Amino acid sequence: MARTKEIAVPEAESSWERVKAREVSKLLLLAPPWVLLVLTFGLGCALHVILRSDEPGVIAWTAALQTACVIALAAWTWTQSHARSAVGRWHSTLGVAAAGAWVILATIHGPATVVTGRIIVVGGITLALSFNIRSIVRRKLEPSQLADPLSLLFGKGAERAGLHVEARTVRATEHKVEGEVQLDEGRQVADDLAKKVPYIESGIGLPPGSIQTSVDPDDASKAKVTVSDPRVMKRPIPWPGPSRPGGSVADPIRIGLWQDLDPVEYGIVGHHLQIMGMTGSGKSIGGAWNMLGELITRRDVAVFAADITKGRQTLGPLAAALHRFETTKEGARAMLRELAERVQQRTDYLASKGLQKWVEGCGLTYWVIWLEECPDILDALSDREMEAFLSMLKAVRSAGGTVVLSLQRSDYTQMPTIARGQLAQMCFGVANGHDASFGLSERQQDACTPERWMNAQPGMAYLDAPTIPETRVTMPLRTYAWGLDDEGAFSDERASSAMREHAAQWPASAKSVDEWTAEVARLDDGAGDGTAPPGGSGGDGQGDGDEDDDDVRNVAAEYLTTDDPDPTIQASLDDEIPDIDEGEPPLTFAPPERAMTPEQRGAALVAHLQALYDEGRREFSTADLRPLWETLDMTRQWAQKALRKLVEAGVLRRDDERFVYLMPSRPDV
C-alpha cells in the first residue's frame, strides 16, 4: 500500500487566524509599489541634501550622469520584463523612467518644492495604484488556471525558454488541450516555436513529447499547438476490432490511437506508403497487421502481398484473406509483372467511364500491393523488371492501387530515389537520428524524434500522409496490439491465433472482384502458417530460388510480350519452313557460360576494386562495376549486396550525399 504523507496543522491555529494570514498575504502583494514610492522620495531628498552645496558645474554633470543611469535602468527593465503583453512591458519601463526623472528634478530643485512635491504626491500615488491594479487583475486570472490552461502554461514555459508569445485555448478535453499561439509578428514563425518546444516542456516540467506544434494555414504569425500526456502510450493498446466491416476501402481505416487518445483515421486510397522502423519496433505486427486487418474487411479491395525474407512468418496468419501471397523471388517477380501488365487495361476502363482516377463504385477492385522487407524483393528484380515496377508505381495510383513498401532503413541502397519521392511516410522507432531522416517527411524532421523509442516501445510511430490533418503530422501514435495476455502484455502466440481467426472470417474467396484482379489472384487457404510450402508459394515460380541467382529470366514470358517485328508476314501450321542462310561460321566463338560460386564472385569483385585503386581511384559508383555483370556470372543486385557487406566490414565507406563508395585503403579481404 502506498504511503501518504500527513501534514500536521497546529492545533492553536484558528480559522480567524488563517483568514488574517491570507488577507495579510494579499496586502503584501500590493505593498511593493508603495515601498518603492517611499524609497524614491527618500533618494531624492538624500541627493538634494548632499549636492545642494556643490558648484553649478558639478551639479550639471551630476544631473547628466543621473540621466544616463535612468536611461540604462529603463532599457534594462524593457529587456528583463516578463509581462505577457506590450502594454505591461511599457508600463514597467515607463514607471522606472518616471521615477528616475523625478529623482533628477528633486536633486536639483529639492523634493518638496511646489512642482516636485505635487509630482511625487499626485503622480507617484497614481503610478503605485496602476501597479496595484495590474497585480489584482493578474491575481484574479492566474490562480484560476482553469480559465485558460494553455495561456498559463505558455506564460511560464515560453518565457523561460526565451520566447515572448501569447497562447489561448481553443478546445480542452480530458486528455488534451488544443490552442493557438500568437507569435511576434515579423520576427517569429511556427518553426521557431517548434525548435523551442523541448525547452518549453522543460520550463513547465512536462514529459518530453508533450507539446506538438503545426503551422496555422491561415496566418503565418500564429501556430497551432496540442498539449497531451505521452505517458499514456507506454502500455500496449488492445485491438478493438474492425472499424467499418463490409464498408469501402475509400473510408478511413483505424490503425491505432494518437497521443491525445483520439483514434487514428487513415485514408489509404490515392497514394503510396513507406513503412520504416528498426527490428522490433512494431512496423510489421503494428503497421502491417493493423492496416491489413482493416483492409481485408472492406468489400472492394484485394491485397497482393510478398515477403521473400521472412516467408510466412509475418503475413502468413493473414494468408486466407489475401488474394495473392508470394514468398519466393520468382513468385514475387511474377506477381509484380502480372500486375504491371494490367495497369493500362484498368486506366482504359476508367477512361471509358469518364474517370481520371479510381472512385468507390467504379467497378474496379482496389489493389493494395504490400511488399514486406521490400529491399530483398527489389534486389531480385532485373533491370527491365525494375523499370516496369517504377513505371507501375507512377501509374497504378490512378488505376486504383496503393503500393506499400516496408523496410528497416530507407537509404538509397535500399530504396530507389525515384520511388521514395512518391511515398507517404510512416516511421516507427529507429536506432538514431540519422536513420530517422530516411523515415520522416520534410515537415517532420525538426519536430519528430523516433530515435527516442528505438524498439523499447513497439507500435509507436509518426505518420505523414495526404489524409492526415496538419496538426497530427508531428504527433506520435501507437498502433493496436493483437493478442494481449491476461496481464496486458504482448503474446506472439495469442496474436498469431487472433489474426488467423480474423482472416478466416474475411476470406479472399468470398469477395467479388473484377476480371483483371481475378486473373492475377492466387487464392491461399492459409494452411501451413509459419513455414513456406515446398515448391513455392502458390505463384508462378517453382523452387526456392538460389539466393545469388538474381538475374533469372522468364524467357517464355519475355518472348510472348515482345512486339512482332513484321506483322505482315503470316504463316499457318502447315506451311513449309524454308532453310535460312546462316552465313559463314565465325573464326572465334564466345566462351561457354561459366557458373561461379559466391566465393569466386567475391574474389572477382575485390580484384576489380583493387584494379581501380591501383589506377589511382579512391572512390567509385555502382556503374564502375558494370564490366563484372556484363562479362561474368554476376548480377548488379549481387554486387550491390556485396558492397554493403564490405561497408559493414569497414573495407569501404559510403558517401550518402554523393552516392559513391570510398576506398580508404587498397581493398584486401
Alpha helices in 448-589 (DSSP H): 492-505, 515-520, 555-560
DSSP string across 448-481: --GGGTTTSSTTEEEEE-TTS-GGGTTS-EEEEE
Residue 249 DSSP class? T
- Mean pLDDT over 410-433 rounds to 88
Residue 241 lies in a domain: yes
Of 36 and 270, more confident = 270
pLDDT tens string 549-572: 433 333 333 334 444 444 455 555
Residue 588 lies in a domain: no
Show which of 95, 113, 141 is a domain's final residue: 141
Residues 154, 133 within the same domain: no
Rg (the chain; Cα; Å): 37
Residues 38, 177 within the same domain: no
Q: Is the dihedral of CA 562, 566, 571, 576 positive or negative?
A: negative
Of 297 and 84, more confident = 297
- Mean pLDDT over 333-340 rounds to 95
DSSP string across 511-574: S---HHHHHH------TTTTSPPTT-SSSS--S---TT-TT---HHHHHHTSPPS-TT----TT
Predicted pLDDT of residue 656: 72
Predicted pLDDT of residue 146: 45
- Residue showing cell 521472412: 310
How crowded is residue 109: how many other Cβ atoms within 10 Å of its Cβ? 16
Percent with pLDDT over 90 in the chain? 35
Residues 36, 168 within the same domain: no
Cβ-proximal residues to 45 (8 Å cutoff; 6+ apart), any chain: 106, 111
Q: By residue range, what is the domain housing residue 473?
A: 235-520
Helices (H) and strands (E) in the chain, counts: 20, 18
Is residue 639 a contact partner of residue 622, using CB atoms and an 8 Å limit? yes
Strands 324-326 and 301-306: parallel
Residue 550 lies in a domain: no
Residues 222, 244 within the same domain: no
Predicted pLDDT of residue 514: 94
Nine cell digits for residue 294: 482493416
Residues 289, 158 within the same domain: no
Residues 217, 343 within the same domain: no
The Cα–Cα gap between 108 and 657 comes to 71
Cβ-proximal residues to 60 (8 Å cutoff; 6+ apart), any chain: none
- Mean pLDDT over 235-252 rounds to 93
| Backbone phi and psi for residue 152, each to the nearest 5 degrees, phi listed first | -65, -45
Left if phi > 0, otherwise alpha if psi is -120 to 50, otherwise beta: which for 10?
beta
Of 555 and 28, more confident = 28
Question: Does pLDDT of 317 surpass 80?
Answer: yes
- Residue showing cell 505591461: 88
How crowded is residue 368: how many other Cβ atoms within 10 Å of its Cβ? 24
pLDDT tens string 568-607: 555 554 555 555 555 555 555 444 456 788 888 888 899 9
Cβ-proximal residues to 367 (8 Å cutoff; 6+ apart), any chain: 301, 302, 304, 339, 396, 399, 400, 401, 402, 517
Angle between helices 56-80 and 15-51 (to 10 degrees): 150
Strands 166-172 and 176-182: antiparallel
CATH number for the domain spanning 164: value is 3.30.980.40
Residues 326, 418 within the same domain: yes
The Cα–Cα gap between 378 and 306 comes to 11
Closest of 417, 419, 413 to residue 369, by C-alpha:
419
The Cα–Cα gap between 478 and 356 comes to 35
Closest of 227, 520, 481 to residue 396, by C-alpha:
520
Residue 256 lies in a domain: yes
- Residue showing cell 561461379: 596
Residues 323, 389 within the same domain: yes
Residue 558 lies in a domain: no
DSSP three-state, residue 17: helix
The Cα–Cα gap between 650 and 14 comes to 78
Residues 346, 456 within the same domain: yes
> Cα–Cα–Cα angle for 639, 644, 645, nearest 5°?
95
Question: Does pLDDT of 608 surpass 80?
Answer: yes
Closest of 271, 264, 303 to residue 286, by C-alpha:
264
Residues 46, 165 within the same domain: no
pTM: 0.57
Question: Does pLDDT of 394 surpass 60?
Answer: yes
Residue 540 lies in a domain: no
Q: How many CA atoms lie within 13 A of 657 on its CB side?
A: 0
Residues 336, 221 within the same domain: no
Question: Which contiguous run of DSSP H or E holds residue 192?
Answer: helix 190-204
Distances (CA, A) of 54 to 43, 50, 70, 236: 18, 8, 21, 81
The Cα–Cα gap between 416 and 421 comes to 9
Strands 272-276 and 401-407: parallel
**How many domains, in total, are found in the chain?**
4
Predicted pLDDT of residue 149: 66
The Cα–Cα gap between 328 and 166 comes to 59
CATH number for the domain spanning 480: value is 3.40.50.300
Nine cell digits for residue 617: 581511384
Q: How many CA atoms lie within 13 A of 139 on its CB side?
A: 12
Nine cell digits for residue 424: 507517404
Residue 329 lies in a domain: yes
Residue 589 lies in a domain: no
The Cα–Cα gap between 207 and 231 comes to 8
E strands, 128-175, where?
166-172
Confidence of residue 542 (pLDDT cuts 50, 70, 90): very low
Show which of 200, 228, 256 is a domain's final residue: 228
Task: Give the 3-state secondary structure percentages of the chain, helix then strand then coil, rounded to 5.
Answer: 45, 15, 40
Predicted pLDDT of residue 9: 36
> Cα–Cα–Cα angle for 196, 201, 202, nearest 5°?
95
Residues 265, 334 within the same domain: yes
Predicted pLDDT of residue 533: 35
* Out of 48-52, 84-88, 225-229, 482-486, least confident range: 84-88
Is residue 427 a contact partner of residue 440, using CB atoms and an 8 Å limit? yes
| Backbone phi and psi for residue 605, each to the nearest 5 degrees, phi listed first | -65, -45
- Mean pLDDT over 651-659 rounds to 80
Question: Does pLDDT of 450 surpass 60?
Answer: yes
Show which of 110, 141, 172 is a domain's final residue: 141
- Mean pLDDT over 313-333 rounds to 95
Predicted pLDDT of residue 158: 77
Of 524 and 454, more confident = 454
The Cα–Cα gap between 591 and 586 comes to 13
